[in-house]
């Protein structure tokens, strides 16, 4: 099997996404999570061994990196965002890898794009316009991102505004106080109202795991968010002191798997914050493969919340096809 055949069979064939219904949620069921115990040392040991248990090299690594690109939520959430910056980011989302690199990989006709573009609500119309004619969803943060401490009616109105402007996905932030005080009914009711405000847009619940103190809290918050109807559970806003880590992600995946077994419903996962390199992308893909298998390595169930990661992935792909490392400036995002 030559290089092109391997890249096509091991990489782009996985772009075919199985259909599954949205998460309809359940009533609040504390019995599913209240008595859960988490062994931190075992979790950290398992997470530490994951990147060493599976070695992906050469053309297989290139295929996995192409897969990672299709799962990236290409993001700009800066205070100085402008329509021009968003338009440039969307142009990169449409063509995330240089044409000559794709041609060398034999993927020039495969329509490789990122999984979505994520922006602030006021930037949504600019992203929608720039992505017109593509299948790339526009995601918007909302609900008082990143702290989530504005009054609930205001947070719900922000969701409705973003959806009205054309957002396909809404990344909400939860009230961490509800988790820290174990007020599960308040957390459930809040997320359920946000889910209703989203209408047809998918809801991604950001747990801000760096603020939740314990892995047990991470599991519990994950389960409540899914019971309330979250279509994705997401680690972080990217603004906390500690963002996505492999141990936290492992616990969230275990919660996701348990929820699926108990409810019969499918929920996606999005790590975000602190992931910058192609190696990071590989580590999280390996985690998904080991814990949940190939169906969860698709953009309809797995997203990587990152931007600078894309530049490093493109740089690694160029190294694969040319044998030389380019300067990072050759792979600017915008």
> Rounded to whole angstroms, how far apart are CA atoms 150 and 143?
7
Q: How far is CA 221 from CA 9, 143, 226, 265, in A?
A: 38, 17, 9, 17
Closest CA relative to residue 35, chosen from 186, 216, 180, 209: 216
Q: For tokens 């909400």, name the residue.
A: 172
Q: How far is CA 197 from the centre of its chain?
A: 21
Q: Please, where are the H alpha helices in the chain?
A: 3-10, 40-53, 58-70, 83-94, 99-105, 124-130, 152-164, 176-180, 184-198, 215-227, 246-263, 278-291, 308-322
- Is 270 assigned a catalytic role? yes
Q: How many CB atoms lie within 10 A of CB 41?
A: 7
Q: Which residues contact 111 (CB under 8 A, 6 or more apart)?
A: none
Q: Name the strands in the sheet holding 72-75, side by side, starting at the edge strand that comes first in the sequence.
A: 268-270, 232-234, 202-206, 169-173, 138-141, 116-119, 72-75, 304-306
The one catalytic residue among 171, 211, 231, 312:
171
For 78-101, b where at least 16 C-beta lie within 10 A, e where not — what string?
eeebeeebbbbbbebbbebbeeeb
Q: Is the dihedral of CA 207, 220, 47, 301 positive or negative?
A: negative
The one catalytic residue among 67, 234, 280, 312:
234
Beta partners for residue 135, in sequence order: none
Burial environment of residue 144 by CB neighbours within 10 A (0 to 12, 13 to 18, 19 or more): middle
- Is 92 assigned a catalytic role? no
- Is 57 assigned a catalytic role? no
The one catalytic residue among 73, 270, 280, 312:
270
Q: Which residues are catalytic, by number?
A: 171, 234, 270
């Amino acid at each position: 099997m030559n290089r092109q055949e391997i890249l096509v069979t091991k990489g782009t064939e996985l772009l075919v996404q199985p259909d599954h219904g949205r998460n309809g949620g359940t009533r609040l069921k504390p019995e599913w999570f209240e008595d859960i115990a988490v062994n931190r040392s075992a979790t950290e040991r398992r997470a530490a061994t994951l990147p060493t248990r599976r070695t992906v090299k050469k053309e297989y690594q290139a295929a996995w990196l192409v897969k990672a690109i299709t799962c990236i939520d290409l993001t700009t959430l800066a205070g100085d965002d402008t329509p021009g910056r968003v338009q440039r980011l969307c142009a990169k989302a449409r063509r995330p890898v240089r044409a000559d690199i794709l041609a060398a990989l034999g993927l020039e006709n495969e329509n490789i794009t990122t999984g979505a573009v994520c922006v602030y609500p006021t930037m949504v119309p600019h992203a929608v316009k720039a992505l017109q004619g593509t299948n790339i969803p526009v995601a918007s943060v909302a609900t008082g991102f990143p702290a989530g401490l504005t009054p609930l009616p205001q947070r719900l109105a922000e969701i409705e505004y973003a959806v009205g402007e054309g957002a396909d996905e809404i990344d909400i932030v939860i009230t961490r106080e509800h988790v820290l005080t174990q007020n599960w009914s308040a957390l459930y009711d809040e997320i359920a109202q946000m889910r209703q405000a989203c209408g047809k847009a998918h809801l991604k619940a950001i747990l801000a795991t760096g603020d939740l103190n314990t892995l047990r809290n991470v599991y519990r918050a994950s389960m409540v968010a899914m019971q309330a109807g979250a279509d994705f559970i997401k680690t972080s806003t990217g603004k906390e002191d500690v963002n996505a880590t492999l141990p936290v992600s492992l616990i969230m995946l275990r919660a996701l798997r348990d929820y699926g077994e108990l409810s019969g419903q499918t929920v996606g996962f999005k790590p975000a914050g602190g992931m910058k390199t192609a190696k990071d992308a590989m580590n999280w893909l390996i985690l998904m493969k080991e814990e949940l298998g190939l169906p969860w390595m698709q953009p309809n169930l797995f997203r990587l919340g990152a931007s600078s990661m894309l530049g490093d992935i493109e740089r690694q792909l160029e190294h694969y096809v040319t044998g030389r490392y380019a300067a990072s400036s050759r792979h600017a995002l915008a």
